[in-house]
Amino acid sequence: MFKVLSPCKINLFLNITGKRADGFHNLQSLFCMLNHGDEMTFEVDNDGRGEITLVNTMGMKPEENLIYRAVRALQEHSGRRFSVTVDVKKVLPMGGGLGGGSSNAATTLLVVNHLAKLNIDNQTLQNIGAALGSDVPFFVGGHHAYVEGRGEYLRPLELDERWYLVVTPDCHVSTREIFTDPGLKEHFSPERTFEDAMDCMYNNDCECTVRKKFSEVGLTLDYLVKYGRAAMSGTGASCYVAFDTREEALKAHEDLCKVWDQDFSFQAFVTESINVSPVTTALMNCQA
């Protein structure tokens, strides 16, 4: 049995530069990995049966679940019929803009590749992941990254460690709904150089559209500004504020939980940014 943390991410900025011919959008974004996420447990058996068992289905049919699809993709790529059992202790909210589903898929690709001894290189795993979801290659890469295209062009970066208070109001924001909103194009950004894009910290071109559709997100952002520059991750619903120290972030979290209207339902956590994914670290420790 192999147990590992499947981490989440936040977008430190998200600029949309246009719609592509394939229906997706071109992005310029900075993905920041956080030391917080779902706990995943794996068992792999080279029994030739090719069975995939999801202990926690999260209410989805197997073909809709990215974990299931990630295992199936590895079976098809390798031509081997190993069996896999996966359990997920779900911590991250669905539709929160934290990349939880993509991270689960990437963690599955990395861990099953290791346990089944498939010896697939990281770039190939990223390519397999790109077919599952735009954020999957980032989590396979395992580092903070500047991202372009629909998420497939990654420039790994090291960032100074900061602490984040992340707050997710009780609403599910559909990425598809936001990206198909006809008003979104009014907020597109011009394509920038890497240096200029990095000056757009905390901008999110989806914010106006999400505020219009989900008042809970707007209320969250408006409340968090008392602690600093509040921003939205991805297409929402999660919002965050950055702090220099753990103590500052915990104090803000404590204050938030004490004084915010108790009728307003939300989840919140404090965590630090990490330059290397815990999945990458765990697999390196196995090989040491």
Evaluate the CA torsion angle 131, 69, 63, 3 in order and state its sign. Answer: negative
Q: What three-state secondary structure class fits 110?
A: helix
CA distance 230 to 241: 5
Residue 177 CB partners (closer than 8 Å, separation 6+): 213
CA distance 199 to 152: 22
CA distance 284 to 58: 29
Which residues does residue 89 pair with via DSSP β-bridges, in sequence order? 39
CA distance 164 to 129: 27
Which residues does residue 147 pair with via DSSP β-bridges, in sequence order? 29, 154
CA distance 159 to 123: 22
Q: Which of 9, 160, 212, 251 is catalytic?
A: 9
Evaluate the CA torsion angle 80, 38, 245, 285 in order and state its sign. Answer: negative
Q: What is the DSSP letter of 62?
A: G
How big is the chain by its Cα radius of gyration, in Å? 19
In a 10 Å sphere around its CB, with 0-12 CB exposed, 13-18 middle and 19+ buried, how is residue 76 labelled? Answer: exposed
Structure-block tokens of residue 66: 């990215």
Q: Is 9 a catalytic residue?
A: yes
Q: What three-state secondary structure class fits 26?
A: strand
Structure-block tokens of residue 232: 């939205």
Q: Which of 61, 89, 90, 135 is catalytic?
A: 135
Catalytic positions, written as ranges: 9, 135
